[in-house]
Structure 1
Amino acid sequence: MKKIKIIFAGNDAFSLKHLKKIFLLSFVKLKAIIISKKKKRNKKISYIEKFSKKNNIKLIKVKNFNSKIKKKLKNINSDLLLVVSFGMIIPKKILKIFTLGGINIHASLLPKWRGCSPIQNSILSGDKKTGISIIQMNTEIDSGDIIYIKKYKIKKKENYNSLSNNLAKIGKQSIVKVLNQILKQKIKKIPQNNNKATYTKKIKKKDGHINWNNSAKKIERMIRAYKPWPSSYFFINKKMVKILKSEIILKKKKNKNKNLIGKIKDFNKNGILIETKKNFLNITKLQISGKKKNYSCNLYNSYKNFFKIGKLLT
C-alpha cells in the first residue's frame, strides 16, 4: 500500500494527541516534526520533543520560516504538511514545498472562531455546538477551503480540559478519514463564507481576573473556559484566589445597588455566595494562593473570617 509522507507541525497537548494517532497509521510515513522555537519552553511542547526523541523522528525548531528552514524542509521530501494547534502562519513558499500542500485540524466549526483560542471562546460564548474542521491551508488565518467537518454537542458543564479531550477524539477519527480520502484522490473542497467569520485572540494571564460587574452566567462560563489556564481568579486580603468550580444561584431582581457587586453575600457549607451584576455566583471549589485546592465546605470552619460576609472581592 502506498504511504503518504507527512511533516507534522504542532505545539501543545491537543497537537500531541493527533501526532500519536498519525504515527500509528500504517499508510503514513512521519518524516519530521516542527515545533515553534520560543524563549520560554513549556511542558506541553517538551512532551512533543520527548515523543520525537523516543521514536527517533527528526525534530525541527522554528522561530521563523527563513531560507534555511525552507531548504531543510525541502530536503526531507514529504507529500503533506499537517498542522494542529501550531500558532504560526505558514508562508506560501513553505506550503509550495509539499505536493499536497498543507492541511490544518482546527477545533471549531469554521468560519466561526478562527485563530488560536477556539475552544475557550466556544465556552465563553455559551455555544451549544462546536466541532472539528479540517481545511486546506492558505496564507491567511484558518480561512482555507473546508475538506471535512464534524459537529459536537457541547455538554452543559464542559470546561476547557473536557472539551479539548472530546474534540481531540473527534479530530483523530476525522484525520484518518481525510488522509484516506487524500490517498484515494477523493477530496472535495468547500470555500468558507468569510462574511460569517469570527476571530479569537491570544489569551493572557490577566484575562482570568474576574470582573464582578459581569453576570454570574458570564463569570461561570469564564471559570470553565479558563480551566486550567490562565484560571479565573480574584483577590481578597491581597491574596489571589482561583475559582475551580462554581454554580449560578438565581436572583429575582437584577442588582441595582452597585455597592453590593463583588461582595460576599453568604458563606456556608454550600459555598461562598458572591453578588454579581445579575444573579449570585456560588463558589464551591477554590484554591487560595500558597494553599492546596479545596472545596468551600471544607474551609467553612477555618476561613470564616477570611471570607467575611460583606467583604469586597477585587
Structure 2
Amino acid sequence: MKKIKIIFAGTNKFSAIHLNELILKKFNILYVLTKPDKKFGRGKKKKYSEVKKVTLKNNLPILQPKSLHSKKIYNLLFTKKPDMMIVVSYGFIIPKNIINLFSLGCINIHTSLLPHFRGPSPIQSAILSGVKKTGITIIQINDKIDSGDILYKKSLKIKTQDTYKSLKKKLSQMGKNLLIKFLKIFLNKKIKKIKQIESQATYTKIINKKDGLINWNTNAIKIERKIRAFNPWPSSYFFIKKNIIKVWQAKVIQSTIQDIPGKIIQYNKKGIFVCTKKNLIQLIELQFPGKKKNKIKNIINSYKDLFKVGKILN
C-alpha cells in the first residue's frame, strides 16, 4: 500500500481510538492536531485531551492551535506537503484553505448514516428519534458541516437497551476498523464518491445539561429514550426538594391509566411507576446527590417517604 503523509485531527476518546489504530497499523502521521489543554482546579492545572495522551505516548509531533484560521498553521502544514487529513471529532471547523492543502483531500469519520443526523450529537439523536439503525459514514470534507461526498458507509443496528455509552463504544470499534479498510481501498483508487441528497438531510444540536430534565408531560417512550440517550452525559433527571435525582434505567409500561403527569401510581421493589402523557414509566435505577447509582429494590426502605403513592414529581 502506498505510504501517504497524514495529518490527524481529533480530541476526544472516540477520536483517540482511531488515532491509536492508525499508529498500530504504522501509517505515516506527520502531525496530530488537537484542541488546546483545558484548565481546571484552583491551581489551574491542565487537562490533556485523550488524543494528546495517545500522541505523547507515541512521541508524535503535536499542534494545539486555538483556531485553524492562522497563517502560521497554514504555512507549517504547507511546507510538509501532506497527502491527506483525517478528522475524527476534532471540534473545530476546517477552513477551505486548509482543506485545499491535501492532494488526497480531507476525510471525516461521522457517527451516523449521512445525510441523517448531521452535526454535533448524532448518536444521542439517533436514540432519541427511535430509529432502528445508525452507523459510520466516511465523507470528503467540504466547506459545509457534514455535507461532503460519501466515500464509505456501514450500518449498525440499535438495540432497545442501547445507551449513548454502549452505542458509542460499538461505533468506536466499527469506525477504527472501517477507517483502515477504507484507506486500503481508497489508495487503490477503488472508491466511488456519492453525493448526499440534501432533501433527506436532518440536523442535530449541541446538547446541554438542562436538556436532561425530564418532562413528565411527554409520553413514556420518549422519556425512556432520553434516559438512554443521555447516559452517561448529561444524564436525565428530576427534582425532589431542589435536589437533582438522576435516572439511569427505566422501562415503558403500557397502561390505560390517565392521571396527572409526574404522579406516582405505585412504588415497590420493581420500581417507581410514574404517570406520563401516555403510558407509565417504571424508574428502575436512580442516583441521589452524593450517592452511587442504585436499583430501586436496594433503596426502597431508605427513600420510601420521598416516593409515596400520589406524590407528584417535578
TM-score, scaled to structure 2: 0.94
Q: Which residue of 2 aligns with 1:212?
A: 216
Q: Which amino acid aligns with 1:121?
A: S
Residue 29 (1) aligns with residue 28 (2) = yes
- SS of corresponding position for 1:62: coil
Give, in whole Å, the separation in 1 of the partners of 2:73 and 2:218: 47
Residue 268 (1) aligns with residue 268 (2) = yes
- SS of corresponding position for 2:178: helix
Partner of residue 50 from structure 2, selected from 47, 57, 67: 47
Once the 2 structures are TM-superposed, how far is the Cα of residue 45 of structure 1 from its aligned partner? 5.5
TM-score, scaled to structure 1: 0.94
Q: Is the 8 A contact 2:252 2:280 kept in 1?
A: yes
Q: Which amino acid aligns with 2:10?
A: G
Residue 227 (1) aligns with residue 231 (2) = yes
Q: Which amino acid aligns with 2:262?
A: G
Q: Which amino acid aligns with 2:267?
A: F
Partner of residue 107 from structure 1, selected from 83, 108, 111: 111
Which is worse superposed, 12-21 or 105-114?
A: 12-21
Closer, same or farther: CA 271–224 of 1 in aligned 2, 3 Å: same
Give, in whole Å, the separation in 2 of the partners of 1:31 and 1:153: 36
Give, in whole Å, the separation in 1 of the partners of 2:218 and 2:30: 49
Which is worse superposed, 190-199 or 46-55?
A: 46-55
Closer, same or farther: CA 36–218 of 1 in aligned 2, 3 Å: same
Equivalent residues in 2 for 1:1-314, closer than 5 Å: 2-26=2-26, 28-37=27-36, 46-65=49-68, 66-252=70-256, 255=258, 257=259, 260-314=260-314
Q: Is the 8 A contact 2:38 2:47 kept in 1?
A: no
Q: Is the 8 A contact 1:13 1:44 kept in 2?
A: no
- SS of corresponding position for 1:36: coil
Q: Which amino acid aligns with 2:183?
A: L
Once the 2 structures are TM-superposed, how far is the Cα of residue 43 of structure 1 from its aligned partner? 10
Once the 2 structures are TM-superposed, how far is the Cα of residue 294 of structure 1 from its aligned partner? 0.8
Which is worse superposed, 157-166 or 64-73?
A: 64-73
Give, in whole Å, the separation in 1 of the partners of 2:278 and 2:65: 47
Closer, same or farther: CA 43–192 of 1 in aligned 2, 3 Å: farther
Which ranges of structure 1 fall in alignment gaps of 5 or more residues?
Answer: none
Once the 2 structures are TM-superposed, how far is the Cα of residue 39 of structure 1 from its aligned partner? 5.1
Closer, same or farther: CA 312–45 of 1 in aligned 2, 3 Å: farther
Which is worse superposed, 118-127 or 10-19?
A: 10-19
Q: Which amino acid aligns with 1:154?
A: I
Q: Is the 8 A contact 2:34 2:49 kept in 1?
A: no
Once the 2 structures are TM-superposed, how far is the Cα of residue 38 of structure 1 from its aligned partner? 6.6
Give, in whole Å, the separation in 2 of the partners of 1:308 and 1:134: 51
Give, in whole Å, the separation in 2 of the partners of 1:294 and 1:20: 35
Q: Which amino acid aligns with 2:67?
A: N
Once the 2 structures are TM-superposed, how far is the Cα of residue 187 of structure 1 from its aligned partner? 2.1
Closer, same or farther: CA 284–230 of 1 in aligned 2, 3 Å: same
Closer, same or farther: CA 3–35 of 1 in aligned 2, 3 Å: same
Q: Which amino acid aligns with 2:17?
A: K
> How many matched pairs?
309
Q: Which amino acid aligns with 1:100?
A: L
- SS of corresponding position for 2:146: coil
Q: Is the 8 A contact 2:162 2:228 kept in 1?
A: yes
Closer, same or farther: CA 40–276 of 1 in aligned 2, 3 Å: farther
Q: Is the 8 A contact 1:7 1:32 kept in 2?
A: yes
Q: Identity percentage over the alignment?
A: 50
Q: Is the 8 A contact 1:38 1:63 kept in 2?
A: no
Once the 2 structures are TM-superposed, how far is the Cα of residue 36 of structure 1 from its aligned partner? 2.3
The alignment yields a C-alpha RMSD, in angstroms, of: 1.8
- SS of corresponding position for 2:114: coil
